[in-house]
Structure 1
């Protein structure tokens, strides 16, 4: 039972690191705010992380329309 728990923990940690790194690369270094995978990962991020990511992208891409998940209901302004 302990071995199964260890394997499960390793998979959860590895998945978190893998998807977390991909999300951070999208937010901090992506070439475009419209990357489909990045938008999806940002949508699954917890509220405070999503908010930080949207603000980071807004400062990196001024004057562009926000991607899905970072836009107000009208889709034209950043959150």
Structure 2
């Protein structure tokens, strides 16, 4: 039982690091806000992380339309 629990913990931590790292790379260093994988990962992020990521991308890409998940009610303004 302990081996199974340790294995599950390692898998959860590894997945969190892998997907979290990829999400952060999208938010902080992507060349475009329209990266499909980044948009999908941002969509699955908890609301506070998604809001932080959208605000960071808005500062990095001020003249562009927001990607899906970062758009306001009209679809053309950032959240």
Q: Is the shorter-chain TM-score for this pair beyond 0.5, marking a shared fold? A: yes
TM-score relative to the length of structure 1: 0.98
Distance 1:37 1:74 in 2: 23
Could you tell me the TM-score, scaled by structure 2's length?
Answer: 0.98
Paired residue total: 79
Structure 1 residue runs without a partner (length 5+): none
Unaligned runs of 5+ in 2: none
Q: Which residue of 2 aligns with 1:13?
A: 13
- For residues 10-42 of structure 1, the C-alpha deviation after alignment (integer angstroms, 9 at most, x for no partner) is 000000000000000000000000000000000
Question: 1:55: Cα distance to partner?
Answer: 0.2
- 2:55 counterpart residue number: 55
Cα RMSD (Å): 0.4
